Amino acid sequence: MPRMLPDPTFYPSPAMAKEAPREKLAYVTLLTPGQNGRSDALGVVDTDPGSREYGRLVHRLDFPQGGNELHHFGWNACSSHLCGYAPNPHTERRYLIVPGTHSSRIHVVDTKPDPRKPKLIKVIEGEEVAERTGYAFPHTVHCGPDGIYMNALGTPDGDGPGGIFVLDHDTFEVKGAWERDRGPQQLAYDFWWHLGYDTMITSEWGTPNMVKDGVNPNLLLAGEYGHALHIWDLKSRRHLKRLELGEKEQMVLELRPAHNPRRAYGFVGVVLSLEDLSGSIFLWHRKEETGEWEAKKVITIPAEPADPDDLPPALQAFGATPPLITDINLSLDDSTLYVSCWGTGELRQYDVTDPFAPRLTGSVRIGGIVNRTPHSRDPGRPLNGGPQMVEVSRDGQRIYLTNSLYSPWDAQFYPDGIRGWMAKLDATPGGGVTLDPDFFVEIEEGLRPHQVRLQGGDASSDSFCYN
């Protein structure tokens, strides 16, 4: 139903959204690693410190099937609905769009009337997605001013190209593929935009066939995984430029453009460098004078030497743990960047007030391939997995982490089988992060947590048209 006043969770600018009330609930995808007889689910976690159930999984909405490989998800509507050129402010932020990367199914979950007990109201089958768009293996969801944008890793046969498609934000009808001219783009992973510049950015991982059975060492050593960014005109849907990050850079994943629509820059994480197993963050930016887009490496995180006996077979030959930067997140005020090192089990905090010169301001160790660092709540018990999906609250004060990556890859880096957990960090004013000892959600055996979305919005759910 349309509202009479704008949805109260829509904010014209990131600065206004920063003043939003604190989230009381978090939604987290819970997936079965492959088919294990169980169903995938959406978990509801209480994040209200005043509640007796704080830091607990308070509800689990089971999906009809397992093995969907739930990954990223997002809202049907957000602050971009206030944009002046395509306003839609009276739509509710209400539905979570939850794609399964392996099944290509898209689940639509209604978070009202009881946000603690969401309901599954619609499932779009993968065949329909394929028929309407030519794509399969859906991945990222972003609410755009004029529709729900999603992307897909490839085509139904598992090859490229991967690309973007749009869902109607009222009916969830799958519209066609988005691109009018894709230029040289074949690989896909993430996408986001600079609404203030009518510019779309996309990143590169691999085709479904290159990733769904685990990381392929032959392809990796040959540098076949993605190593570029793509710049697109959001209005004409045409490819504008390919930004090469370097052939040794492998797997260009999460895109975090500045939230302020006047700022034409953003950060992207690169999982691995073939030179030295380091991970890195690149900054892309638009040069004011020429309007040209460029990218440069601004953060390098080195691999940590390790005893081969402590390493999984895939890494033994290297005698080192790569940081494996699998997710990053940027606070709404564009001041703080969080970097997940899933391999070494570290979450890093950087001050990126000057995006060209990030400054390391904090670090927390938890899990990790070698370290297995425990949570402060149970200091005697080693944890596996590492900081992976990272989400930041709108006020920038709380950071939520989960520990699984992608089930075929989990098995290669954590062969003992990931035990799922979700943790929370508190940002210290002036820099630094600490684990909240009272917030540690252990996920039951057979399910693994992936992306977290916070009630009302978070630092990667909304985009803005005003500064």
Which positions touch other proteins (CB under 8 A)?
2-6, 8, 10-13, 16, 82-91, 145-146, 169-170, 195-198, 234-235, 261-262, 465-467
- DSSP strand pairing (325-330 vs 336-341): antiparallel
3-state secondary structure of 282: strand
Cα–Cα distance, 322 to 245 (Å, whole number): 19
Take residue 297 and report the two structure tokens written for it.
């490496």
Cα–Cα distance, 112 to 261 (Å, whole number): 30
Residue 15 or residue 120: which is nearer to other proteins going by CB?
15
Residue 291 or residue 379: which is nearer to other proteins going by CB?
291
Residue 104 or residue 461: which is nearer to other proteins going by CB?
461
Burial of 204-235, coded b for 16+ CB within 10 Å and e otherwise, reads: bbbbbbbbbebbeeeebeeebbbbbbbbbebe
- For the CB of residue 232, give the shortest distance to other proteins in the complex, in Å: 13
- For the CB of residue 278, give the shortest distance to other proteins in the complex, in Å: 37
Helices (H), 184-333: 208-211, 217-221, 313-316
CB 424 within 8 Å of CB 437: no
Residue 2 or residue 113: which is nearer to other proteins going by CB?
2
Residue 53 or residue 170: which is nearer to other proteins going by CB?
170
3-state secondary structure of 368: coil
Cα–Cα distance, 256 to 259 (Å, whole number): 8
Take residue 258 and report the two structure tokens written for it.
């500045």
Would you put residue 25 in left (φ > 0), alpha (ψ -120 to 50) or beta?
beta
Partners of 347 in beta bridges: 340, 364
Residue 193 or residue 414: which is nearer to other proteins going by CB?
193
Residue 239 or residue 419: which is nearer to other proteins going by CB?
239
Partners of 238 in beta bridges: 181, 233
- For the CB of residue 89, give the shortest distance to other proteins in the complex, in Å: 6
DSSP 158: S
Burial class (CB in 10 A: 0-12, 13-18, 19+), 158: middle
- For the CB of residue 95, give the shortest distance to other proteins in the complex, in Å: 15
- For the CB of residue 465, give the shortest distance to other proteins in the complex, in Å: 5
Take residue 90 and report the two structure tokens written for it.
């009276």
- For the CB of residue 2, give the shortest distance to other proteins in the complex, in Å: 6
- For the CB of residue 196, give the shortest distance to other proteins in the complex, in Å: 5
- For the CB of residue 408, give the shortest distance to other proteins in the complex, in Å: 39
Residue 291 or residue 430: which is nearer to other proteins going by CB?
291
DSSP 354: S
Take residue 433 and report the two structure tokens written for it.
């992060």
Residue 103 or residue 260: which is nearer to other proteins going by CB?
260
- For the CB of residue 197, give the shortest distance to other proteins in the complex, in Å: 6
Residue 195 or residue 311: which is nearer to other proteins going by CB?
195
The half-sphere exposure of 397 on its side-chain side, counting CA atoms within 13 A, is 9
- For the CB of residue 193, give the shortest distance to other proteins in the complex, in Å: 10
CB atoms within 10 A of CB 157: 11
